[in-house]
Structure 1
Amino acid sequence: MRAGTLLLAALLSAILLALAACSRNDDTAVPPPRSSITFLHYFTDSLSGGIDEMSQGFNNQHPALELKAISLDHEAFKTSIQDTLKTDNPPELYSYWAGARTASIVDELEPLDELWQQAGWDKAFAPSVIKAASEYRGKKYFLPLTQHYIAFFYNKKLFDQLQLQPPKTWEEFLAVCAALKARGITPIALGARDKWPAQFWFDYLLLRTAPYSFRQQLMSGEARFDDPQVRAVFARWKSLIDKGYFNSRPHPNELAWDSGANDMVFRGEAAMTLMGTWNLAYFSNNTHQWQAGKDFDFFPFPQIDPAIPTVALGPIDGIVMPKRAHDKAGAGTALRYLASAEAQRTFSRYSGALAPNLQVPDSAYSDIQRRVRKELERSPVFDFAFDLATPPPVAELGLDAFAEFLAFPDAYPEITRRLADEAAARFSATRAVKPAP
């Protein structure tokens, strides 16, 4: 009996030790690897605010998936996407610009209609945003992520010191510029080294002086860039240059929009700059620590012709899925999160953008963002900037022409004539390429 008892005790001890070992193995077991969803985007440098925080939010909620946000410089991105979309292993998701840019690659994209319906996104986004940004050839391809607004951002302390008020009309704007110039301050900082910042001047001067329908015709090739209404834009723009209202040293074509033009405004060397609401994040970052409404503020581009209805301008950034994406189910899971009010609220907080998702409440925005939102609501029309409103081959011609104009303002008659001829040729070439069914 004693021997039997000892044997039973030994067996029980062995079982307990085995169970303990199993328990320890379970505790220390390596979790299965997460599936990666690659998200290639252009939110870099001064435009990077919010992207990492938003991606981390997804990863925290999805232990089986990892959203890998990989950044690429704006200009490099424009070229690389054309190549990588056609490979057998593209990223699962890309950031992209709504409008003509997305329209130019739609043959390589996966329609999102089924996912859109399942997720109920028609209730999350305004019909106007869906129509302008998401729908192409009758299907939905683009998930809106941010909405920016182009306006003047100005040194408020400088304006207050000189007792200047944000101008509402062109005459008031010219008076403010003259007052600043008389005090030895550059009225307008323009950093057009990357070319795209100059387009905002062309866009707004046209949208404030010509019917919106004409601008649509111009962007689609139905009107020419040497039209009298276009030449009048360059003549008005030239008059500002001739009066010395823009920075000349360094020249706009040599100056960055952020560390150049923005910092001229920050230092008080210039009073204002025409830029997007990403400036909200730039001026309030750790380097500058400006407080919106106290140190800096914004005002809309002034009215020039009272008979012309106001048009608001800006980009809508979003996400597209390649047709050749390998993990479309995982990409769809990521898109569901990125479309959510939680994700878009996070991105808005750090980027300065407004969230296209209608479920993001006003209370989520800063005071200046709420005022931007009201300006957008007051505008009968919201449209994309030049390089997002016309096909990419034509957009590149225009950006080059704006840079040439800044270098040689007196040559604008010849610049517009050449632009008109070259754009007409590229529009013809674009129409000759028939879209896939």
Structure 2
Amino acid sequence: MRFWPLMLLCCLFNITVPNAKTNETLNIGLLVASKGQRAAYHQLAEAFEQQHQDLRIVFTVQNDKQYKASIEKWLTQKNGFDVVYWQAGERMDQFASQGLLEPLNDLWQKNNWLTHFPQRITRTVQQGDSLYAVPFAFYQWSIYYKKSLFSRMALTPPKTWNEFLVVCATLKSNGITPIVVGGKQNWPVAAWFDYLNLRINGLAFHQQLMAGKINYTEPRVKSVFSALKQLIDLGYLLSGSQAKNWQDAMPYVYRDLAGMTLLGSFVEQQFVEQFRDDIGFFRFPQIDSKIPLFEETPIEVFMIPKNAQNKPAAQLFLSFIGRSDIQESLSKNLGYLSPHLQATRTNNYHSNQEPYIFADNHDITQFYDRDTTKSMSVDGMQLMSEFLNNPDVSLITHKLEQVRLRAFPQSNIK
């Protein structure tokens, strides 16, 4: 599906970037998940065309499933898109390592982006000495809860795992299931695995596991599933979580049928208005005080394919999307947050709390299916979802190891 923003008559901005040819089309591949996102990108394109009246943006829009099935074909065909949306980390690395992306070092230097983005974000779009993308939005993960419910039970957001278990026990003793997981799409369960692994074993271990260099039957991996099994065995997870969509989670919290849910900040666009002011959030609790609070921070990026037809225009667009004011407005409209250090992040649900990524110096990860290979993540997340109904630690780690051996046949086991 394609849509064309209107060409407006006035030029509002002036910046120094490469000159594009006149009367050109800029073709952009775009993943859109909602009408709200479609409108946000439409506004972005109109703002760009106001500045560059000799260019017309043409978006090729697909949903999540279609886009992920199409992008490799687009990057390898003879005539490619000028710009493509994608995701930082392993998902970008796989294309960069194949030589399918245009290095952007000169563009980063010209726009002084190394000083405008946190280093931990810059690293997610870098492979070796080359930078291959421009980050324009991110979202963080938190545990959401109903503030009036916590107040009624004299509960405060827990900072440690032991405090979290006390909160769960209090909710359950009052007839409220502590946690709801929308496990039908599998990936919400992977968030629990990622966070437990980061909090129990740390970032280096997590990264090695994602790279296929650690056996899933290793005791430290089993300890992650043992922690999740503890929640299941104590009856802290809502029955039937495996059959629920992620969108189903918050209504259980609204109605005091569940106390908490772990989701990305994208869920905030789904909040029912009457409950919006009554929903709070807290970061995933600390388990080992010696391990820093690493966070899941999926980052959205734009890249220039090696087979792009209009690279000067593509550079114009990336220079535009890399500006703090543009990121500020786009992220607000998308319901995300801007990674640009000069962007204001006060016009969203996180207005009273600086996002974790800017609040401390701890490093970040993307997400299970963004940090490991597709061949590992698809079956891996399915097994994690099945674990909710059959919490057998030995069984799931054995099955995950079989998947790892298929996904990483040449890996070295540590």
* Shorter-chain TM band: 0.7 to 0.9
Q: TM-score if structure 2 supplies the norm length? A: 0.86
Cα separation, 2, equivalents of 1:397 and 1:79: 17
Cα separation, 2, equivalents of 1:47 and 1:79: 23
One-letter code aligned to 2:374: P
Aligned residue for 1:101, secondary structure, equals helix
CA RMSD, 1 decimal: 2.4
Q: CA deviation at 1:195?
A: 1.6
Asked whether the 8 Å contact 1:186–1:270 carries over to 2, the reply is: yes
Say which is worse superposed, 215-224 or 140-149, in terms of deviation.
215-224
Asked whether the 8 Å contact 1:39–1:67 carries over to 2, the reply is: yes
**Alignment of structure 1 residues 217-296 onto 2, 5 Å:** 217-248=208-239, 251-258=240-247, 260-283=248-271, 288-289=272-273, 294-296=277-279
Cα separation, 2, equivalents of 1:267 and 1:83: 45
Asked whether the 8 Å contact 1:310–1:379 carries over to 2, the reply is: no
Cα separation, 2, equivalents of 1:376 and 1:241: 33
Partner of 1:426: 407
Which whole-Å deviations, capped at 9, do the CAs of 1:122-161 have from their partners, x for residues lacking one?
A: 2322233212x22113211111011221111112222223
One-letter code aligned to 1:215: H
Partner of 2:69: 79
1:143 aligns with 2:134: yes
Asked whether the 8 Å contact 2:182–2:243 carries over to 1, the reply is: yes
**Quick check: which has more Rg, 1 or 2?**
1
Cα separation, 2, equivalents of 1:51 and 1:193: 29
Partner of 2:31: 42
Partner of 2:103: 111
Q: TM-score if structure 1 supplies the norm length? A: 0.82
Asked whether the 8 Å contact 2:28–2:83 carries over to 1, the reply is: yes
Asked whether the 8 Å contact 1:376–1:382 carries over to 2, the reply is: no
**Alignment of structure 1 residues 60-75 onto 2, 5 Å:** 60-75=50-65
One-letter code aligned to 1:342: D
Change (3 A) 1:232 1:156: same
Q: CA deviation at 1:231?
A: 0.8
1:170 aligns with 2:161: yes
**Alignment of structure 1 residues 396-435 onto 2, 5 Å:** 396-410=378-392, 412-428=393-409
Partner of 1:155: 146
Cα separation, 2, equivalents of 1:51 and 1:430: 40
More helix by share: 1
Asked whether the 8 Å contact 1:280–1:351 carries over to 2, the reply is: no
Q: CA deviation at 1:291?
A: 6.8
Cα separation, 1, equivalents of 2:367 and 2:380: 12
Change (3 A) 1:92 1:166: same
Q: CA deviation at 1:415?
A: 1.9
Q: CA deviation at 1:38?
A: 2.6
Cα separation, 1, equivalents of 2:186 and 2:336: 22
Asked whether the 8 Å contact 2:182–2:241 carries over to 1, the reply is: yes
Partner of 1:18: none
Asked whether the 8 Å contact 1:47–1:278 carries over to 2, the reply is: no
Aligned residue for 2:281, secondary structure, equals strand
Asked whether the 8 Å contact 2:212–2:411 carries over to 1, the reply is: no
In the TM superposition, structure 1's runs of 4+ consecutive aligned residues that sit over 6 Å from their partners are none
Q: CA deviation at 1:301?
A: 0.6
One-letter code aligned to 2:252: M
One-letter code aligned to 2:284: F
Aligned residue for 2:183, secondary structure, equals coil
Partner of 2:282: 299
Aligned residue for 1:407, secondary structure, equals coil
Percent identity among equivalent residues? 31
Change (3 A) 1:55 1:252: farther
One-letter code aligned to 1:421: Q
Cα separation, 2, equivalents of 1:168 and 1:396: 32
Change (3 A) 1:225 1:369: farther
Partner of 2:87: 97
Cα separation, 2, equivalents of 1:51 and 1:265: 31
Q: CA deviation at 1:72?
A: 2.0
